[in-house]
A and B are shown apart, each in its own frame.
Chain A
Amino acid sequence: MRRWTAFPALIVIIAVAGCSTGGGTATGSASAPSAVTPSSAASSGAGGSAGAPAAACNPPKQDGVTLTFVSFGGAYQEAQRKAWLEPYTAATGVQFQEDEGSSNATIKTQVESGQVTWDVVDVGNDFGLEANSALLEELDYTLIPEAEVNEALGPSKWRVPDITYGVVLAYNTDKTAGKVPEGWADYFDTTKFPGKRGVWDYSEGGIFEIALLADGVKPADLYPLDLPRATKKLDTIKDDLVLWKTGAESQELIGSGEVALTLIWNGRGWSAKNTDKKPVEMQWNQQIVTADYLVVPKGSPNKDAAMKFIAYTICADNNAKPSQYIPYGPTNINAKPAPDKVADLSVSNADENSAYFDDEWLVNNFDAVDAAYKEWKSR
């Protein structure tokens, strides 16, 4: 009798402990990735002269050096590994330690605690500007070919774009029954295209931008964002929205047909169609062209080696190499992407209807944008 009464109570204690830790670890694994921007940081120091690009593309031998490279995992990091990390190791002897959980919050933790283990980090377009400068090392632009980096992508003293990608409209052809959505206005038209709509659960991930574009705002007039107008437009489909937090989730949602149309990163859309073999197509009209960036956390133990590597990835010969494996484009204007992927690249499909994120405005106004998003979401 005594045994039986003690046992359940004991189980309860263990379960409470287990439950809380379970929640904790679950938190980590289900966290939303920050923008998956192609960080094709062409870390070639722009010497501004012909000497620099050559130096960037011919890094010196550095035996005994280990760099920690962090990106977003999956097919993306695999492409970066094959295109940059492995050839770099072959050329210089530098060994790489990889991590797959790129997160701005982790950079902040490391820098603030003084225990920096990450050397080169691929981050989204919401990081690496003046607002985060206390957390980052200034990049060595004597090595990176500054003149060759695409200015429209917003490089800064602390970040350099390494790959470009597009935030596009993807649709499940089974659910749209042959009709083709032509732009974001169709995304908001649930009569013409019945079904749920997927969107990234992040205030600065494009949800307001697509609402404004659908409402008729020209790409050049997007910023400063007219938040009341955007939330009014979003209210029209609020009940049909499905928020996703990770790239894998978006790929799964559109592939399975859980949503008929979704906002998605073009690499994920491409994977849904070509890797998962699902009936998914993408609409390039009105895409938002953006990029991922390479940064070096402040206090990194291998700063000089990190700068040399970043310069290598930006150099024209190497910058476009990831496009052989994944449809993400180069950020060096002289780099040539793989011919069979050119049609799938965001930059190849950019036209006068394409929009661009204004990273500077977004970072400086994050509080207002985020508050508006939270308020609209919960009401």
Chain B
Amino acid sequence: MKVERPGRLRGPARDRWAVLVLPALVFLVVFFLAPLVTMSIRSITDPPNAGLSNYTEFFGQDANLRALRNTFWIAFLSTLTCLLIGYPYAYLMTIVPGRVAGLLLIGVLLPFWSSLLVRTFAWQVILRDTGVINTFLLDLGLISEPLTLIRTTGGVIIGMSHILLPFMVLPMYAVMRRIDPEFGRAAANLGATPSAAFLRVFVPLSLPGVLAGCLLVFVLALGFYITPALLGGLRDQMISQLIVDEIQQALDWGSASAMAVLLMAVTFAFLFVASRFVHLRDVFGSAVEE
């Protein structure tokens, strides 16, 4: 007679519960994995007998290399901006009383509940030459010519940081919450000034969260399409826009697939490198303690 310990499933019982995962698994395989595989195969078979020609052609064109460079640069800048804004915000959330922390949390989550497209268009309305900021400053007489805020790398960074900030704040907050405030007090007892205690005790302990947040933001920023397309200038083209043009204008899907596979490979490379420093499970999975 088996005594079943509460909270622990063994043997046949555990296997039966695992079956619940099946529908989600099937869905992912059919609608996510299969198209990815088809696309990857297409990158070497379209046009017929293409082999690696789509890839070599990609690297042969200056415009493509510039787009690749822009992609990394803009993703890097977005990550940096999110870090500079997000770190103080997350830290604030840990030191204010619970209710205020809840409000701050809602403040950072609210963007999730509105459409990405609407938010990007809103930034367009705010930043453009005839937009909110410029008409305000022009009416006040503070400037005589509209400021160029849109169609610049700066405009893209502003829009992307706004959209990606929650992804930076939440992992950092999750880690910062777990840092025992006793450590700070212990440092003070040992003679550290408040800033020394912060820099030498708190910051190193918060690094896993920082890395997780940066990783998440960077990876997401690599694949962004709408925001750079609407807020960026001629020279801010990212690889996502090239892919869209190949599909819709050139109707060259082999080329587009090759670019998409390239983007995927780059993303995996970053994830691999990051996995040496951060538990990916903590970033993408549940952070529930056992």
Contacts and interface: CB of A to CB of B under 8 A. Distances in A.
B171 A238 contact: no
B94 to A, nearest CB: 11
B225 interface: yes
Of the four ranges (under 10, 10 to 19, 20 to 34, 35 or more), the interface on chain B belongs to 35 or more
A147 to B, nearest CB: 32
Interface stretch (A59-67, A103-111, A300-308): A103-111
A375 B247 contact: no
Contacts of A258: 128-130
Given A5-B174, A16-B284, A378 B235 contact: yes
Contacts of B250: 366-367, 370
Interface string B173-196: 110011000000000000000000
Contacts of A108: 251, 253
Contact of B247 (A19, A23, A105): A105
B244 A5 contact: no
B144 interface: no
Interface string A12-42: 1111101110110111011110100000000
Interface residues of A, number: 51
Given A5-B287, A6-B286, A31-B248, A196 B129 contact: yes
- Chain B interface secondary structure, helix, strand, loop or mixed? helix
A238 B235 CA distance: 10
Contacts, number: 134
Nearest to A10: B286
Interface of A: 1-2, 4-6, 8-16, 18-20, 22-23, 25-27, 29-32, 34, 103-105, 108, 196, 202-203, 238, 241-243, 245, 256-258, 366-367, 370-371, 374-375, 377-379
B63 A371 contact: yes
Interface string B134-177: 00000000000000000100000000000100110011011001
Contact of A15 (B62, B66, B167, B287): B167
Interface of B: 61-64, 66-67, 105, 109, 112, 115-117, 120, 128-130, 151, 163, 166-167, 170-171, 173-174, 177-178, 216, 220, 223-226, 229-230, 234-235, 237, 242, 244-245, 247-251, 253, 282-289
Contacts of B120: 26
B72 to A, nearest CB: 15
A25 to B, nearest CB: 8
B216 to A, nearest CB: 7
Contacts of B117: 22, 25-26, 29-30
